[in-house]
Amino acid sequence: MQLGMIGLGKMGYNLVLNLLDHKHDVVATDVNKEQVSKITADGAKGVESIKALVENLSTPRIVWMMVPAGDITESVIAELKADLEPGDIVIDGGNSNYKDTVRRAEELKEKGINYVDVGTSGGTDGARNGACTMIGGDADVFATIEPIFKDLSIENGYLYTGKVGSGHFLKMVHNGIEYGMMQAIAEGFEVLEKSQFDYDYEAVAKMWNHGSVIRSWLMELTQSAFSKDPKLDEIRGVMHASGEGKWTVEAALDLQVPAPVIALSLMMRNRSLEDDTFTGKVVAALRNEFGGHAVVKK
């Protein structure tokens, strides 16, 4: 099929290569002109602007956005709303908040433009060689573009999830689960590290990946990480977060779902961003007040 790709970052670029492998016809653009030249050399038709991208697609157009969530996605959609025509299809493959997705779909619907939200898992390697995709939107729209997802995804690795927003919501929850699984694995290794025993962590992770209940892709990645740096001596335990975990906790609060593990996974990440905490100062000061317990001076 013919398809336009807006955004040629780590994910978008690899998705285009993946599409080209499957003989799709791709028109691509990015604010970074170097990426546009590269993708042209790789076989896509690189163009200089969203306007040019729209002009180079035949109707009904299929435009896939793979740009950062938030303001950038918002402005790209505004431009697409202006340029596209009724019957065209916009696909948001980024990590947008599902509430924004639902709103944007309504805004585009006003002009008869179809909106499809795609949660994409599997990292850059998945994008290149077979992603895992969860797709929300109108069922008939999905039906017309299903071949794209079939080709982009690993076998059995795509799912139509229902009405618009459901793809991004599912990807959000996927990431919330991921936070919890990662924190569980990491806590376990910290218990090992502080124990009286002396384990070879790479060997442990490898063994756990062969027959244990906790074998998983994340444990394979754990094995890989320890193979490069056996005690992770080279890095600091600073755990950034990119938003979906926070949204999952907020959704859990909205839905009154107790989600202590996902919430704590996120909060321990936030804790890791602090060198010292005001919470700790208050508790230390209180212990000093009532019990005369020593405080650590700065």
**Residues between 84 and 123 with contacts to a copy of itself, criterion CB under 8 A:** 121-123
Query: How far, in Å, CA of 238 to CA of 273, rounded?
Result: 6
Kindly tell me the sign of the dihedral angle through the C-alpha atoms of 237, 240, 241, 246: positive
Q: Which residues contact 237 (CB under 8 A, 6 or more apart)?
A: 272
- Which residue number, 58 or 297, has a Cβ lying nearer to a copy of itself? 297
Among 100, 107, 198, 244, binds a copy of itself (CB under 8 A): 198
Which DSSP state fits 137? S
The number of residues that bind a copy of itself (CB under 8 A) is: 131
Shorter beta-carbon distance to a copy of itself: residue 85 or 289:
289
The helix (run of H) or strand (run of E) holding residue 8 is none
Q: Which is nearer to a copy of itself, 61 or 104 (CB)?
A: 104
In 3D, which of 123, 124, 126, 104 has the Cα closest to residue 115? 104
Q: Which residues are CB-neighbours of 42 under 8 A, at least 6 positions away?
A: 16, 17, 20
- Is 202 an interacting residue with respect to a copy of itself (CB under 8 A)? no
Rounded to a whole number of angstroms, the minimum distance from the CB of residue 199 to a copy of itself is 6
Q: What's the min distance (Å) between Cβ of 164 and a copy of itself? A: 10
Single out the catalytic residue among 45, 178, 244, 246. 178
Q: Is 189 in the site for a copy of itself (CB under 8 A)?
A: yes
Helix (H, G, I), strand (E, B) or coil at 27: strand
Q: What Rg do the C-alpha atoms of the chain give, in angstroms?
A: 23
Question: Is 178 marked active-site?
Answer: yes
- Give yes or no for residue 204 binding a copy of itself (CB under 8 A): yes
- End-to-end alpha-carbon separation of the chain, Å? 64
Q: Which residue of 41, 139, 140, 235 would you call a contact of a copy of itself, by CB under 8 A?
A: 235
> Among residue numbers 147 through 186, which ones bind a copy of itself (CB under 8 A)?
153-159, 161-163, 165-166, 169-170, 173-174, 176-186
Considering only residues 49-78, where is the footprint of a copy of itself by CB under 8 A? none
Residue with tokens 């990480």: 225
| Site track for a copy of itself across 15-54, x = CB under 8 A | ----------------------------------------
The amino acid present at 283, given as its one-letter code, is V
Q: In what order do the strands lie in the sheet with 131-136?
A: 45-46, 25-29, 2-6, 62-65, 89-92, 114-121, 131-136, 153-162
Q: Kindly identify the residues of this chain, within the stretch 278-297, that bind a copy of itself according to CB under 8 A.
A: 278-293, 295-297
- Nearest approach in angstroms of CB 77 to a copy of itself is 22
Nearer Cβ to a copy of itself (74/274): 274
How many C-beta atoms lie closer than 10 Å to residue 191's C-beta?
9
Q: Is 106 a catalytic residue?
A: no
- Report, in Å, the least distance between residue 1 CB and a copy of itself: 21
CA distance 61 to 48: 18
Q: Does the footprint of a copy of itself cover residue 208 (CB under 8 A)?
A: yes
Catalytic residue among 34, 45, 74, 171: 171
Cβ contact 130:103 at 8 Å: no
The answer to whether 252 contacts a copy of itself (rule: CB under 8 A) is yes
Among 13, 229, 230, 244, binds a copy of itself (CB under 8 A): 229
As annotated, the active-site residues are 171, 178
